[in-house]
């Protein structure tokens, strides 16, 4: 049973300060995020040091690093504080649902949304285009910056529900007027051409993206590993395609994106018949709020 008298004596305001300090490994950056002074952050950390009889953070070079106990404390507080935050600031009153996702799964969602019943009752949906790994997703959920996150790997984090949606198919795309079209489409002998031709790629730092490729497509993974040159990268898929069309480069395009292109745009881009790309797509969320679950069902194609 909780001892409310002891709990009353504990200053709960130090918890978000502790979490921000751990997140940034910096007193100054924690103060900036929370709009407070570095001295206030230091005072709060000192309170926790005294309470737990542990230094929590030790100086290493120009920064600070957590102790073993600090890392364990962070893991325990992260889930508990997130649940407390959700209870205090009711999600039922939220006016938007924030989704972090690559573009292609969102195109699939939009198609399903157009066929789903009673979408007028849903709040505004805000999409942030990003390739997110599990560590970044955990941080986004912890600070309530996202309601739904699409990843290329299953999450194993307290309070996070993670489901595999599907494997997303993709192809190597090139300009229909590419001067080496014959060599590219010679599937028995085109490996060297694929390695030497300039590449366009998605701008991301997610190891899970490449892990998914290695798991599902070892041939493609080997080409990516040994290709000679990447000349352009962007999170914006249409810019990547425009670059491919105009500069005789090659790159990946998802089947979902290709299916949603206009006929005139498709005529400018050709797809190699092989090797195909497959990438795992997972949906991750924490809340069981009704509107959020309805959006998740749309992602799953459960509402018709």
For the segment 159-207, what is each residue's pLDDT rounded down to a tens digit? Answer: 899 999 999 999 999 999 999 999 999 988 999 999 999 999 876 655 6
Q: Alpha-carbon distance 280 to 169, whole Å?
A: 9
Q: Give residue 219's pLDDT.
A: 87
Q: How many helices (H) and strands (E) does the chain have?
A: 15, 11
Mean pLDDT for all residues in the chain: 87
Q: Are 270 and 160 in contact (CB under 8 A)?
A: no
Structure tokens at 265: 């745009």
Q: Say if residue 126's pLDDT is above 90.
A: yes
Q: pLDDT at position 5, please?
A: 67
pLDDT band at 150 (very low <50, low <70, confident <90, very high): very high
Assess contact for 276 and 217: CB atoms under 8 A: yes
pLDDT at 89: 61
Q: Report the pLDDT value the prediction gives residue 198, as an integer from 0 to 100.
A: 94
pLDDT tens for each residue of 80-101: 776 676 666 655 445 789 999 9
Q: What is the pLDDT of residue 83?
A: 67
173, 179, 181, 184: CA torsion to nearest 10: -80
The pLDDT of residue 194 is 93
Which pLDDT value is given to residue 136? 87
Asked whether the beta carbons of 165 and 196 are under 8 A apart, the reply is: no
- CA-based end-to-end distance of the chain: 47
Higher-pLDDT residue of 288 and 243 is: 243
User: Is the pLDDT reported for residue 6 higher than 80?
Assistant: no
Residue 93, pLDDT score: 47
93 exposure class (CB count in 10 Å sphere: 0-12, 13-18, 19+)? exposed
State the Cα–Cα distance between residues 152 and 204, nearest whole angstrom: 12
Q: 224-234 burial string, b = 16+ CB within 10 Å, else e?
A: beebeeeebee
* Whole-Å CA distances, 150 to 9, 65, 147, 153, 230: 40, 30, 10, 9, 26
Angle between the N-to-C axes of helices 218-226 and 207-216, in degrees from 0 to 180, rounded to the nearest 10: 130
User: Which range has the worst mean pLDDT, 11-20, 78-87, 103-112?
Assistant: 78-87
At residue 180, what are phi and psi to the nearest 5 degrees?
-110, 30
Q: Which residues contact 25 (CB under 8 A, 6 or more apart)?
A: 57, 63, 64, 65, 66
d(CA 150, CA 101): 5
73 C-beta neighbours (distance < 10 Å), count: 18
Query: Which 3 state secondary structure label does DSSP give 20?
Result: helix
Structure confidence by residue, pLDDT tens digits, 229-268: 999 988 788 899 999 999 989 999 999 999 999 999 999 9
pLDDT of 94: 57
* Nearest to 194, CA basis, from 178, 215, 212: 178
Distance in angstroms (rounded) separating the CA atoms of residues 27 and 174: 48
Tens digits of residue pLDDT in 32-76: 888 889 999 999 999 999 999 999 999 888 789 999 999 888 888
Find out whether 125 and 96 touch, Cβ atoms under 8 Å: yes
């Amino acid at each position: 049973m909780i001892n409310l008298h002891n709990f009353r004596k504990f200053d709960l305001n130090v918890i978000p300060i502790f979490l921000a300090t751990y997140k940034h490994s910096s007193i100054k950056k924690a103060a900036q995020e929370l709009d407070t002074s570095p001295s206030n952050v230091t005072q709060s950390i000192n309170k926790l040091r005294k309470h737990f009889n542990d230094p929590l953070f030790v100086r290493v070079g120009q920064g600070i690093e957590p102790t073993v106990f600090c890392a364990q404390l962070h893991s325990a507080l992260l889930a508990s504080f997130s649940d407390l935050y959700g209870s205090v600031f009711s999600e039922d009153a939220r006016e938007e649902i924030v989704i972090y996702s690559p573009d292609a799964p969102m195109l699939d969602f939009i198609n399903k949304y157009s066929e789903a019943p009673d979408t007028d009752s849903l709040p505004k949906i805000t999409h942030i285009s990003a390739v997110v790994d599990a560590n970044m997703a955990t941080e986004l959920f912890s600070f309530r910056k996202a309601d739904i996150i699409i990843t290329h790997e299953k999450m194993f984090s307290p309070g996070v529900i993670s489901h595999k949606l599907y494997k997303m198919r993709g192809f190597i795309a090139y300009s229909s007027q590419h001067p080496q079209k014959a060599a590219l489409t010679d599937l028995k002998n085109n490996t060297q051409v694929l390695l030497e031709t300039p590449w366009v790629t998605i701008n991301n730092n997610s190891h899970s993206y490449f892990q998914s490729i290695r798991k599902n497509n070892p041939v493609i993974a080997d080409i990516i590993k040994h290709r000679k040159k990447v000349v352009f990268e962007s999170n914006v898929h249409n810019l990547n395609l425009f670059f491919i069309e105009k500069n005789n480069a090659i790159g990946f395009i998802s089947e979902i994106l290709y299916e949603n292109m206009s006929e005139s745009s498709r005529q400018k881009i050709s797809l190699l018949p092989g090797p195909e790309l497959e990438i795992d797509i997972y949906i991750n969320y924490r809340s069981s709020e009704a509107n959020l679950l309805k959006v998740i069902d749309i992602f799953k194609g459960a509402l018709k």
